[in-house]
Structure 1
């Protein structure tokens, strides 16, 4: 059973579409990239499946992921929204035993969370944030984002000579 806080947390269930290209060059056997992130539909089902495969390019649907909003990520949401081109971030992995297979692990709307994934050497791609999701994220961010108060910087002349920058 979900904890009460988890039930109250705003969330969207999504499906991720990823593409796999066979032998894109002589150094790679496979190349993967994010195609899009869609709002979950009952017709998607629950299992990942191939949507198209022509031998060169294949597209796979990965349903059942969640985008959850967390109060402590409000600054990351604000940065995403104020970037001029808000995006959905998807962290994905390649199967070490079968490098022709990849799947999304997590989806987020926070710049900070995507940055932590990148710092951990994870693979992260992004795609444009749909307009209706943008409105949802904007409303949440306006409610919970508290800009850091500016700290007055002490003039250098008041610092001891050894502490001056």
Structure 2
């Protein structure tokens, strides 16, 4: 990546584990468990089968890092457990999941949790990928100083009884409560 380029793209394979379901309504339980940096393209290849659990290389997605999102990447790397977030969606058929996105930004991952349709799973961040993200942050992060907003000096404590809307022709207070007309 050249220093002038403000983004970086990496291919990540997603490993998903299938376990037998624990209820009669769900035959299988699916969970993203790992990412494979630099993985080639593959769709739902069996990697390992053991004691009823099957691990698949579900597919390869592109992880995009952008210079404008370095604050989110810093938040991720300084978290207790740095992660890659895998966003998946249910679909009819076999396999029952579509891979949508992989991201290193916890802010972007949170946006996908809002719709209730997508499945967002945290996967441990591999050490090699941690180094790549840290290097990207070092090259592109610009600390923005906090600027406190100044309050305007408008007086909001003044009483404006009777002022009202200038389009209303009325001699009295336009904010007053209606009174019963006495005959």
What interval of TM-score do these two structures reach, taking the shorter chain for normalisation? 0.7 to 0.9
Give CA-to-partner distance per residue, 1:69-100, whole Å, 9 cap, x none. Answer: 112221211111121321111001222x2376
Report 1:1-165 matches (<5 A): 9-42=7-40, 45-53=41-49, 56-95=52-91, 97-98=92-93, 101-121=96-116, 122-152=118-148, 160-161=156-157
Task: Point out the structure with max Rg over C-alpha.
Answer: 2
- Give the structure with the larger helix fraction: 1
CA displacement, residues 19-61 of structure 1 (integer Å, 9 cap, x when unaligned): 122222244332211110011345xx53332234568322211
Query: TM-score w.r.t. structure 1 length?
Result: 0.76
Note the residue ranges of structure 1 that are not aligned, 5 or more in a row: 1-6
Aligned-pair Cα RMSD in Å: 2.9
SS at structure 1 position matched to 2:86 = strand
State how many pairs are aligned.
Answer: 153
Q: TM-score, normalised by structure 2?
A: 0.69
Q: CA deviation at 1:108?
A: 0.6
- Structure 2: runs of 5 or more not aligned: 159-183
Q: With CA pairs under 8 Å and 6+ residues apart, which has the higher RCO, 1 or 2?
A: 1
Measured in 2, the distance between the counterparts of 1:66 and 1:59 equals 21
